[in-house]
């Protein structure tokens, strides 16, 4: 246990017993506990294997390379269609965690084997992501925006495309695009 991570467990009200049980199970698999992205992150030889996180309706274990895991129990969940590598196992009770403890451990050990083997998740190329119509129209209207967008790194391009596309309404997509035009023109990513 890493004392720097304790606050995460102590602050949680709704899912505290569940995430403490997940912590116990995961630490029994000889992983190192760190704090990353505000969550308990578990590593093997300094490589990220999984993390614990909480949501309103469930708590979860997220495997960074979960798409490479065999899933004989059919319990891995892809959070959204745009998530390429990570997969979650979601829990809603301590009883469910106890029931799946042995399975969870086997998935953890498999995730470590995948990491040690050097396997990589083959990610979609940026060109395979669809460009929202609203953004394409803006790039057609502002040639410097199009030029600046395609000069961004592929990761920054994907970030924008995923963020713009995730809005359900055209109005929201337009607002997002307008807000980020200056950053794109300045060669910046979403989080820069």
> Do 99 and 161 belong together in one domain?
no
Residues 59, 111 share a domain: yes
Per-residue model confidence as pLDDT tens digits over 121-171 = 888 787 788 899 999 999 999 999 999 999 999 889 988 998 998 888 999
| Residue 63 and residue 99 in one domain | yes
Residues 135 and 159 in one domain: yes
Is the domain of 174 the same as that of 84? no
- Kindly tell me if the per-residue pLDDT of 178 is higher than 90: yes
Q: Report pLDDT for 57.
A: 96
Co-location of 23 and 113 in the same domain? yes
Tally Cβ neighbours within 10 Å of residue 154: 12
Task: Provide the residue range defining the domain that includes 10.
Answer: 3-117
Looking at the 3D structure of the chain, how many domains does it have?
2
What is the structure's pLDDT at 29?
A: 97
CA distance 186 to 184: 5
CA distance 162 to 177: 12
CATH at 60: 3.90.1150.200
Return the pLDDT at 118: 94
Report pLDDT digits (tens) over 4-54: 899 999 999 999 999 999 999 999 999 999 999 999 999 999 999 999 999
**Residues 125, 155: contact at Cβ < 8 Å?**
no
Residues 86 and 181 in one domain: no
Residues 113 and 24 in one domain: yes
């Amino acid at each position: 246990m890493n004392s720097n991570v304790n606050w995460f467990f102590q602050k949680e009200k709704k899912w505290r017993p569940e995430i403490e049980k997940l912590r116990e199970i995961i630490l029994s698999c000889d992983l190192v506990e760190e704090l990353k992205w505000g969550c308990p992150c578990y590593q093997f030889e300094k490589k990220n294997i999984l993390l614990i996180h909480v949501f309103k309706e469930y708590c979860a274990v997220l495997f960074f390379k979960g798409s490479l895991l065999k899933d004989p129990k059919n319990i891995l969940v892809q959070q959204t269609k745009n998530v390429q590598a990570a997969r979650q196992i979601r829990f809603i009770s301590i009883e469910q965690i106890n029931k799946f403890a042995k399975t969870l451990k086997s998935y953890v050990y498999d995730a470590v084997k995948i990491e040690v083997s050097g396997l990589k998740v083959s990610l979609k190329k940026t060109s395979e992501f669809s460009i929202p119509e609203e953004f394409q129209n803006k790039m057609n209207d502002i040639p410097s925006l199009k030029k600046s967008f395609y000069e961004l790194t592929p990761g920054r391009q994907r970030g924008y495309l995923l963020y713009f596309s995730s809005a359900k309404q055209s109005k929201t997509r337009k607002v997002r695009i307008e807000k980020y035009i200056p950053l794109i023109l300045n060669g910046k990513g979403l989080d820069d």
